């Protein structure tokens, strides 16, 4: 009995020590991140050509092996970067959906980390136990056009059975040739997901996909769940409450589900939204820290002790966030006053080369939105919606427009400013006003309805206090708000 107690204490202290040690490593990964961050990848609209010099750099480095493993439909190369000598194969692929680049950036940060002369003990443990294989940007054509789908117009993640896309065939071939023990399927999700019944965005969401309709848990899927529980504990430290768990309904056409079935512990990571992180650079850092920590726990085997039951304690993913949630606003319609909540979201409209974008606000929903949440919330109780007006004079050109003091126009109720000559390539403005053509006419009554671009003022006791410009709320007393851009609007 005594020896049993003693051995339990020994086991517990080993587990505890490795946990404490792991925590310390995670902390230092987070604090030293900037040393390894790949500076040439700055924002989300990265292209195939953005990553070629980086792949070349690792190809010239004897620590790494870089192999071309295929081509996209438009002929862009797809490469695999490998490092390590261990028996356990870990395969990580990103950007199967072209407009989901966050983890591609994190992969290059991780490669920089692996290349550096630091954390030598941990790297020795990782690279002697594991061989790591990174496939960044599986869908380079989609990245070029910043679309989810590939050039065939299909979702590669529904092509695991038909294998009609060359990109899907590459993924299958690489998985099969490695017989990978672990597979990290790296995506981005909508920023409007939240952790169920909380006002927190799902900054990271996880899934250990099911491999059958019964959603059975064998050791392959169980190991994926354990690693997810581990990564969740890390994210909770830096983004508390901001993790969601994806619905695990079996999707027979998806790669994650099939890869799990083929014997690779498949871990889906979705990068979602975060406060004040439009280009998702903090989320990129969270990917870096959590994926590297997961790699380390796989290398030292400590994940094996994690209880699978904890997987289901992660809150489910829900989709109840708005960019702006305004509540209790008074709205006059046909002579009567109603109380409304309004949820507003923004869509990114790309330039023709998909290198830049502006935002277009839309009413996502209105009515009782008490079960929804917002990145930004505003209780408009006591405020009444009033329509915005067109400024009665015409401004000569864009330069003069950009010199206007926007706030004083808004305070007078003017939001639409006629400009005589508007260059055709100009689609938006950094001022919280809209550029319109001369003779621009607004509809007779302001009708709010889902899908519409919201532009109005909020008035209290006869005074305009707030502006909603392109769906962004601006406090006219302080000039503060969440504003990014106004629009160029033209009557036909």
Using CB under 5 A, list all residues that contact Zn ion: 97, 100, 187
Closest distance between Zn ion and the C-beta of residue 97, in Å?
Answer: 4
* Cα 160 to Cα 168: distance, rounded to the nearest angstrom: 7
Residue placing its CB nearer to Zn ion in the complex, 97 or 226: 97
Closest distance between Zn ion and the C-beta of residue 44, in Å?
Answer: 13
* Cα 57 to Cα 36: distance, rounded to the nearest angstrom: 15
Closest distance between Zn ion and the C-beta of residue 96, in Å?
Answer: 6
Distance from CA of residue 170 to its chain's centroid?
25
Edge-to-edge strand order for the sheet containing 182-188? 65-71, 77-84, 130-135, 88-94, 182-188, 265-271, 204-207, 243-245
Element (H, E) at 80: strand 77-84
User: Taking a C-beta distance cutoff of 8 angstroms, is the pair 206, 243 a contact?
Assistant: yes
Closest distance between Zn ion and the C-beta of residue 189, in Å?
Answer: 7
Closest distance between Zn ion and the C-beta of residue 139, in Å?
Answer: 9
Residue placing its CB nearer to Zn ion in the complex, 100 or 323: 100
Closest distance between Zn ion and the C-beta of residue 147, in Å?
Answer: 12
The residue number with the shortest CB distance to Zn ion is 187
Residue placing its CB nearer to Zn ion in the complex, 187 or 226: 187
Closest distance between Zn ion and the C-beta of residue 367, in Å?
Answer: 31
Residue placing its CB nearer to Zn ion in the complex, 97 or 133: 97
* Cα 361 to Cα 489: distance, rounded to the nearest angstrom: 13
Question: What backbone torsions phi and psi does residue 113 show, to the nearest 5 degrees?
Answer: -60, -45
Residue placing its CB nearer to Zn ion in the complex, 187 or 200: 187
- DSSP-derived secondary structure for 431-491: SSSEEE-TT----SS----TTS---EEEEETTEEEEEEETTEEEETTT--B----EEEE--
Q: Hey, is 42 helix, strand or coil?
A: coil
Residue placing its CB nearer to Zn ion in the complex, 134 or 255: 255
Closest distance between Zn ion and the C-beta of residue 268, in Å?
Answer: 9
* Cα 167 to Cα 387: distance, rounded to the nearest angstrom: 50
Chain position carrying tokens 């489910």: 316
CA dihedral angle for residue 281, residue 426, residue 351, residue 319, rounded to 10 degrees: 60
Closest distance between Zn ion and the C-beta of residue 238, in Å?
Answer: 23
Residue placing its CB nearer to Zn ion in the complex, 272 or 454: 272
Residue placing its CB nearer to Zn ion in the complex, 207 or 468: 207
* Cα 185 to Cα 189: distance, rounded to the nearest angstrom: 13
Residue placing its CB nearer to Zn ion in the complex, 186 or 417: 186
Q: Hey, is 92 helix, strand or coil?
A: strand
- In sequence order, the β-bridge partners of residue 194 are 201, 318
- In sequence order, the β-bridge partners of residue 459 are 384, 464
């Amino acid at each position: 009995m005594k020896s049993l107690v003693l051995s339990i204490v020994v086991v517990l202290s080993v587990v505890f020590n490795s946990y404490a040690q792991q925590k310390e490593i995670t902390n230092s990964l987070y604090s030293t991140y900037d040393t390894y961050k790949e500076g040439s990848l700055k924002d989300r609209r990265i292209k195939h050509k953005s990553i070629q010099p980086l792949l070349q750099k690792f190809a010239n480095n004897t620590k790494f092996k870089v192999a071309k493993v295929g081509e996209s439909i438009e002929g862009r190369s797809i490469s695999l970067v490998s490092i390590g000598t261990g028996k356990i194969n870990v395969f990580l692929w990103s950007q199967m959906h072209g407009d989901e680049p966050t983890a591609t950036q994190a992969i290059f940060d991780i490669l920089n980390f692996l290349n550096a002369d630091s954390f030598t003990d941990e790297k020795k443990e990782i690279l002697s136990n594991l061989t790591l294989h990174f496939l960044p940007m599986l869908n380079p054509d989609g990245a070029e056009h910043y679309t989810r789908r590939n050039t065939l117009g299909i979702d590669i993640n529904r092509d695991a059975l038909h294998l009609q896309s060359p990109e899907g065939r590459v993924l299958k071939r690489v998985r099969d040739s490695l017989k990978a023990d672990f597979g990290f399927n790296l995506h981005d999700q909508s920023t409007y997901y939240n952790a169920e019944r909380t006002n927190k965005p799902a900054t990271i969401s996880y899934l250990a996909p099911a491999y059958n309709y019964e959603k059975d848990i064998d050791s392959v899927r169980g190991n994926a769940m354990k690693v997810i529980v581990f990564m969740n504990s890390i994210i909770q430290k830096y983004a508390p409450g901001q993790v969601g768990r994806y619905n695990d309904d079996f999707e027979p056409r998806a790669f994650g589900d099939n890869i799990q079935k083929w014997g690779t512990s498949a871990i889906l990571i979705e990068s979602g939204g975060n406060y004040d992180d439009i280009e998702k650079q903090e989320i990129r850092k969270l990917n870096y820290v959590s994926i590297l920590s997961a790699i380390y726990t796989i290398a030292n085997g400590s994940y094996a002790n994690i209880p699978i039951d904890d997987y289901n304690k992660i809150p489910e993913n829900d989709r109840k966030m708005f960019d702006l949630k305004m509540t209790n606003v008074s709205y006059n319609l046909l002579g009567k006053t109603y109380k409304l909540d309004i949820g507003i979201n923004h869509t990114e409209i790309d330039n023709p080369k998909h290198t830049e974008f502006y935002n277009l606000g839309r009413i996502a929903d209105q009515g009782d939105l008490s079960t929804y949440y917002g990145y930004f919330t505003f209780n408009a109780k006591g405020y009444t919606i009033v329509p915005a007006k067109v400024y009665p004079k015409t401004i000569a050109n864009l330069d003069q427009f950009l010199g206007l003091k926007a706030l004083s126009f808004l305070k007078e109720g003017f939001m639409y400013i006629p400009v005589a000559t508007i260059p055709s390539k100009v689609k938006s403005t950094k001022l919280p006003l809209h550029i319109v053509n001369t003779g621009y006419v607004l509809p007779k009554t302001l009708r709010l309805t889902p899908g519409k671009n919201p532009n109005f003022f909020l008035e209290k006791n006869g005074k305009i206090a707030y502006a909603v410009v392109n769906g962004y709320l601006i406090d006219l007393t302080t000039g503060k708000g969440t504003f990014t851009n106004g629009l160029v609007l033209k009557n036909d």
